[in-house]
Structure 1
Amino acid sequence: MNSEQTLPLLDIALLQGYVDSLGKNIVEQMFALYQQQAKVYLADIKKAQVADDSQLWQEHCHKMKGASASVGLLQLHKQLVALEKSTASQAEKAECLLVLENENQLAINAFQDWLNLD
């Protein structure tokens, strides 16, 4: 991902707003749900890649894009914005999926670190 500036992994303002209005326990539950859903989304994206189905690829990337935005995962969301409309080959999408899985794990780790700061 080559961009002039790198986005932070997390939207701290959004997440702190959630904690302030909903409480840390609810944010932890939201995050746990995201983690469960991300596994499903990644599996679905992989199935679409293996089947070389661009429509399913787009649909599943779109779902994960919305989920990542809702829990403030800025870099992951930006990556999914690009992947959703990608016209890359099946092999290129396989590489993109590996990067996506790694970015998702980095975002999850950052979120967990942030939650544990209190």
Structure 2
Amino acid sequence: MNNTAHLDLDLLQGYIDNLGKAVVEQMLQLYISQSAIYIDDIRGNVSEEKQKLWQESCHKMKGAAGSVGLLLVHKKLVAIEKIVESESVKQEHIIELDELNTQANTEFSEWLSKAY
């Protein structure tokens, strides 16, 4: 069974049709490296004093995830971008975000390897 719940397949297929598979592969690699930086930034901004930076970091990653069609990562970021919670609650969200992102990257990579 091909599980692609994380992906906006119409968007991604459109990218392949218009830009070519090689460009989409580069997009994925760029997103993977950049998302690690975004997650580190989000992780570094959990304190109440850094709420504005939390929102900015989530917002940046939300845009990146949306632009490469990662539906569940984008949805998670929409949900947490403006939350005002304790550091421990935010840490739980970061763990969930990181797991979703890893799953999405894997699905994207697997889907891309089969795309033409």
TM-score w.r.t. the length of structure 1 is 0.90
**Structure 2 counterpart of 1:75:** 72
CA RMSD between the two structures = 1.2
Identical-pair percentage: 48
Question: Could you tell me which of 19, 33, 42 is aligned with 2:39?
Answer: 42
CA distance in 2, matches of 1:11, 1:88: 30
CA distance in 2, matches of 1:20, 1:43: 33
| 1:58 maps onto 2:47 in alignment | no
Give the gaps of 5 or more residues in structure 1: 1-6
Tell me which amino acid in the other structure corresponds to 2:97: L
**Structure 2 counterpart of 1:4:** none
**Structure 2 counterpart of 1:89:** 86
Which of structure 1's runs of 4+ aligned residues deviate more than 2 A? none
Instruction: Please report how far the alpha carbon of residue 83 of structure 1 lies from its aligned counterpart in structure 2 after TM superposition.
Output: 0.8
TM-score w.r.t. the length of structure 2 is 0.92
Tell me which amino acid in the other structure corresponds to 1:60: S
| 1:105 maps onto 2:102 in alignment | yes
CA distance in 1, matches of 2:31, 2:42: 16
Q: Deviations over 1:41-98 (max 9, x none)?
A: 001001001x441111100000000000000000110000011011121110011100
Give the gaps of 5 or more residues in structure 2: none
**Structure 1 counterpart of 2:24:** 27
Higher RCO structure (Cα 8 Å, ≥6 apart): 2
Alignment length (residue pairs): 111
